[in-house]
Amino acid sequence: MATPVRYLEKFESLSAAVSYTFPLKAYEWESVESLRTAFLESVGMDFAYDALRNAPAPRNISNETVRFIVTAATAASVDTEVDTMKAKMLNIGRGKLFTIDGSSTRRWCYARVVAMPDVRVSVPALNHVPASIQFQRMSPWFASSITSVVTDTATSPKTFTVTNPGNVPAKWVEIRFRSDSNAGFTNPALLNSTNGYLFSSTRDSASSSSELKVDTEDLSVKFSTDNGASYTDDFANFTIGSNQGSFFQLEPGDNTIVYTDGGTADLQLEINFYAPFA
């Protein structure tokens, strides 16, 4: 068998406790994703005004459809396999959809089944049941392993590099400021000088156990006084730059990050993300 191109491999619960791998007999995967344009039309105007100007069009939720044949030695075994497939699709809910390539490199996305699997039964091929499953994908494709950058910060400003190995901007990023002393961070601010994205907070550390966590996926800002064992909402002290579509993002390739502190910096700065792909 020739080395296959990347294909849709399996659907899995977020906890990985429930998983269904798609059979490869008569296999087909169809991926359809539209972009959200912003065309403004007027009476007498040729064509239209593009309100996005030169910016990329935002991505819509995509439709991912996989088709295959469920087969087994006996009709009873086929029935069991179809029942298992339906139960797993229904019970997983929002889960992770995985692709895999010829070198066994996986990528994943958040997805949800939007209808129970379609099945077709015909006579006399009762041991072969064509099936199809449609998913809605709600994220980019992500690398299977997380990218984590940790830097000890004792100067202000502190400049360092974060490399995004994906081919599209990483918009879902977790950033943690972990104090190493009572006054480990004061009015912390972070700038990505590669794209101009920035944010700041008026929160100051209270002890060496203080932590400020910014999560751009769920748009949350939280403060902890026990090294992240528990958090309280701290959004009221948070400010982002003007004209930003998100709290923070990393462009593909190298990003120059600048940390600025309003006092004497003494903290560990951690940036975590899954590299995204189109």
Residue pair 138/111 in contact by the 8 Å Cβ criterion = yes
Query: Interior CA angle at 267 toward 263 and 271, to 5°?
Result: 120
- Give the pLDDT confidence of 117-156 residue by residue, as tens digits: 999 988 777 789 999 999 999 999 999 999 999 999 999 9
Q: Which pair of structure tokens corresponds to residue 57? A: 């069009």
1 pLDDT above the threshold of 70: no
CA-based radius of gyration for the chain? 24
Portion of the chain with pLDDT greater than 70, in percent: 99
pLDDT in tens, 3-35: 689 999 999 999 999 999 999 999 999 999 999
Q: Given this model, what pLDDT does residue 3 score? A: 65
Instruction: Name the DSSP class of 6.
Output: P
Query: How much is the pLDDT for 242?
Result: 87
Q: What is the pTM of this model?
A: 0.88
Exposed, middle or buried, 46 (CB in 10 Å: 0-12/13-18/19+)?
Answer: exposed
Q: Domain extents for the chain? A: 7-139, 147-277
User: What residues does 177 pair with on adjacent strands?
Assistant: 212, 269
The rounded mean pLDDT for the chain is: 95
- Looking at domain 147-277, its CATH architecture is Sandwich (2.60)
Residue owning tokens 């299977």: 144
- The pLDDT score that the predictor gives to residue 224 is 98
What is the pLDDT, as a whole number, of residue 122?
85
Q: What is the pLDDT of residue 243?
A: 82
- Identify the CATH number of the domain defined by range 7-139: 2.40.30.200
Give the contacts of 249 (CB within 8 A, at least 6 positions apart). Answer: 169, 170, 171, 173, 192, 195, 197, 216
